[in-house]
Amino acid sequence: MLNRRRFLRGSAGAMGGAWLAAWPWQTLLAQQELDAGPVDDWDAGKVRHLLPAVSDSHLLIKTSLSAPLSQQPRLRINGGGSSQTIAGLQNDTAGEFWQFYAEDLRPDTVYELRLEEAGGAALCEPWPISTFPAASHTPESVRVLFYTCAGGPSGDYFGIGDRRGNLPMAIRRRLLRRALSLAPQAAIANGDHIYWDLHTWQGEQAGELSAAGRESNFDFAARVMGGYNEQALKLAAGPQITPLYGTDFRSTPMYFLQDDHDHWENDSPLTYPVEWFQLQLARTTQQLYYPEFLSDPFRSPGLPYSHSSVRGDLSESYGTLRYGDLLEVLLYDVRRTLRVGQSNAAFLDSNVEGWLLERTASRESRHLVHVPSNPPGWTAGKWGEWYPDALHPESGELTTSILKLEWQQGWLDQHDRIMTGLANMTHRNPLIMSGDLHATGVGTMHGAGALDFSANPITNVLSGPIGTSIRGFPSVVRGVGAQPSKYLSFEEQVAPLEEHGFTLVDFERDRIKAQLFKWDVNSQSLAAIDTLDPYFTVELMRPD
């Protein structure tokens, strides 16, 4: 078994030297010359990464520093005719990771933030961020960025159509910078922020430690925080998150929804529900790198994995983006409370389902959008999906004529209840923004089984992946691309395209306009990213 100290030493330096020596200089030069897009001249100082979340009155920031601090840093918040200073809370044992939580901010107000050491020295240049309008406000519009599958170790790119592994960080960052150049006021990253599955899910060694699992060599009987396990987590997750975001999103509030790989496993009956240790890895990754969901007056603080402490009134798995009376977005992780018993199978805890249905029927907001971590509408024949479609072992096609091993009917029953709630939302446009499937596309759900949604069909959008590897696309790893489930009455406006991209959605008082962007690594240059235009637009007029 790999020696743990050797893994840490190798990852930090020695392994890097061997890796450099093994590569031809032309290849190294090609990677060094990759352009991450327009240069940001903001001075990040000692800040390695910084990711904020806001509501109308709250602020939460996660950050990491280039060197540990022995004393609490502080965040100075100025704006709205007042100022306050927030002491940082240490998120790791070394003092490299910190968070800042503030309450009692004014709605729809631009604040200047200053991050300082305990002695007053600046850790970075000041920057602005705005709170959202209060629920009683009536904003005219808001633009939200949606994307998925941004994780994975940095891969290699040698030219058009010639790459290895996940997209290199520079290309992923360039895609996100193009999205940011179009001025979204918030961003939703829907699942798979890391890929470091600890166990295999198919083949002769199914259920055994994966190559990544052997490399990290976690002590599953020990705590995650402190000692070797904490360092191994940082070495596995950090390079997938920190260099991707850096400080680019410092003024753009972020919503990070976790999915299967964020729990350090692929969704399979061999690995889910995840063991306690992997659950703690997922929670610790979130604690270190990206914000939890802030509280909302219409979401119960008693939902699973919600807690109140000095770190704030936060939820790990269920979130709300509320922008005045204009928009309410419901975000929900379908993995965290997964049940697999034949008599009680469900993706979501019953209280979470109740929250979704209650909010869907509500009338406080002009628009309401569902953002689940697993997409309704399409299937790739995987186990942990809403639908019974399976990959036929002989024809290689998706079908419901054979049983999907270990799949549970209760998952589909819950799907039907949630979709019925959306279809019954006749005062709004039913819209689902999804991720997970490593594709960009659009479809309309007109029915499910015996259920008829044709009077108010549900629009489904696959938001687009940022970092997907070659083998991450379903058509490569499974031999078949994502398709509408045969259980559904479903019309595709854009069949899933296995290309990288993102979606920008404009919410206005009387309409929703979703613009889908894509970039083809096999046919387009890197420079094309900087001028990407929408390849497809969906416009939904609000029923009034």
Q: What is the pLDDT of residues 183-210, one digit of tens each?
A: 999 999 999 999 999 999 777 678 899 9
Query: Residue 173: pLDDT above 50?
Result: yes
In this prediction, residue 3 carries a pLDDT of: 56
In this prediction, residue 207 carries a pLDDT of: 82
* Burial of residue 488, with CB atoms counted within 10 A of its CB: 0-12 exposed, 13-18 middle, 19 or more buried: buried
In this prediction, residue 17 carries a pLDDT of: 37
CB 351 within 8 A of CB 302: yes
Instruction: Give the whole-angstrom CA distance, residue 371 versus residue 468.
Output: 20
β-pair partners for 27: none
Query: Residue 36: pLDDT above 70?
Result: yes
pLDDT tens digits along 309-326 = 888 889 999 999 999 999
In this prediction, residue 34 carries a pLDDT of: 86
Query: Residue 226 — pLDDT band, cuts 50, 70, 90?
Result: very high
Instruction: Give the whole-angstrom CA distance, residue 443 versus residue 479.
Output: 22
Query: Residue 478: pLDDT above 60?
Result: yes
Task: Write down the pTM of the prediction.
Answer: 0.94
Mean pLDDT score, 400-419? 97
In this prediction, residue 25 carries a pLDDT of: 41
Query: Residue 239: pLDDT above 50?
Result: yes
Mean pLDDT score, 266-278? 93
CB 506 within 8 A of CB 513: yes
* Burial of residue 339, with CB atoms counted within 10 A of its CB: 0-12 exposed, 13-18 middle, 19 or more buried: middle
Instruction: Give the whole-angstrom CA distance, residue 504 versus residue 182.
Output: 9
Mean pLDDT score, 208-219? 95
Instruction: Give the whole-angstrom CA distance, residue 542 versus residue 327.
Output: 12
Mean pLDDT score, 434-448? 96
In this prediction, residue 32 carries a pLDDT of: 55
* Burial of residue 152, with CB atoms counted within 10 A of its CB: 0-12 exposed, 13-18 middle, 19 or more buried: buried
In this prediction, residue 353 carries a pLDDT of: 98
Closest CA to 148 of 129, 168, 175: 175
Residue 246: half-sphere exposure toward Cβ, Cα within 13 Å: 19
CA Rg, the chain, in Å?
23
Query: Residue 467: pLDDT above 70?
Result: yes
CB 168 within 8 A of CB 155: yes
47-130 falls under which CATH superfamily?
Answer: Immunoglobulins (2.60.40.10)
The residue ranges of every structural domain in the chain are: 1-33, 47-130
Q: What are the two backbone dihedrals, phi and then psi, of residue 67, each rounded to the nearest 5 degrees?
A: -145, 145
In this prediction, residue 18 carries a pLDDT of: 36
CB 199 within 8 A of CB 207: yes
In this prediction, residue 132 carries a pLDDT of: 99
**Amino acid at site 88:** G
**Amino acid at site 326:** L
- Residue 355, classed as helix, strand or coil, is helix
Q: Which DSSP string do the residues of 420-477 spell out, in sequence order?
A: HHHHT-TTS--EEEE-SSS-EEEEEEEEETTEE-TTSPEEEEEE-BSS--GGGSHHHH
Percent of the chain with pLDDT over 70: 94
Mean pLDDT score, 246-265? 98
In this prediction, residue 504 carries a pLDDT of: 99
The 8-class DSSP code of residue 527 comes to G
Q: Which single residue is written with the structure tokens 């995840």?
A: 274
Query: Residue 19 — pLDDT band, cuts 50, 70, 90?
Result: very low
Closest CA to 100 of 89, 111, 84, 112: 89
Vertex 224: Cα angle to 13 and 259 (nearest 5) = 95
Helix 227-245 / helix 276-289 crossing angle, nearest 10 deg:
50
CB 297 within 8 A of CB 57: no
pLDDT tens digits along 104-152 = 999 999 999 999 999 999 999 999 999 999 999 999 999 999 999 999 9
Query: Residue 503: pLDDT above 60?
Result: yes
Closest CA to 88 of 110, 68, 66, 106: 68
Percent of the chain with pLDDT over 90: 87
336: Cβ–Cβ under 8 A, 6 or more apart, which residues? 258, 263, 304, 305, 316, 317
519: Cβ–Cβ under 8 A, 6 or more apart, which residues? 175, 499, 500, 501, 528, 529, 532
Closest CA to 438 of 363, 518, 504, 508: 518
Report the chain's mean pLDDT, rounded to a whole number. 93
